[in-house]
Amino acid sequence: REAEVSELRALAAVQEEHLHALEMERRRLHNQLQELKGNIRVFCRVRPLLAAEQEAQKGLEHLHFPPEDNKTLSHTGRRGEVRYDFSFDRVFPPGASQEDVFEEIALLVQV
């Protein structure tokens, strides 16, 4: 009898632990859903230079896209003494395609 009670208590403890883990997952998913529904998301897409702009400029040397971070864009001033860092939900460099952009926002698009 005591063995059964002990076994049931151990089973109850395991089930309670499992229930807690599921509750934490539910909360995480709920917060993610709320974020997708309610938060304003800001994306930055830098377009490629036009031919006339490429002739007038040497390119986009003043813009920096950190390869390990797709949420940051840095701008260096004309003389290089001032640097501005900007943070977005996602930054798309000039080489990004329409498919890249759509892939990122597909979950946000509703029919």
Distance, CA of 76 to CA of 33 (rounded, Å): 37
| pLDDT for the residue numbered 59 | 64
| pLDDT for the residue numbered 64 | 79
| pLDDT for the residue numbered 111 | 39
Lookup result for tokens 């460099």: 93
DSSP string, 27-41: HHHHHHHHHHHHS--
pLDDT tens digits, 19-56: 999 999 999 888 888 777 777 778 888 888 787 777 77
> CA dist 107 to 23, 36, 41, 92, 111, Å?
24, 8, 12, 17, 11
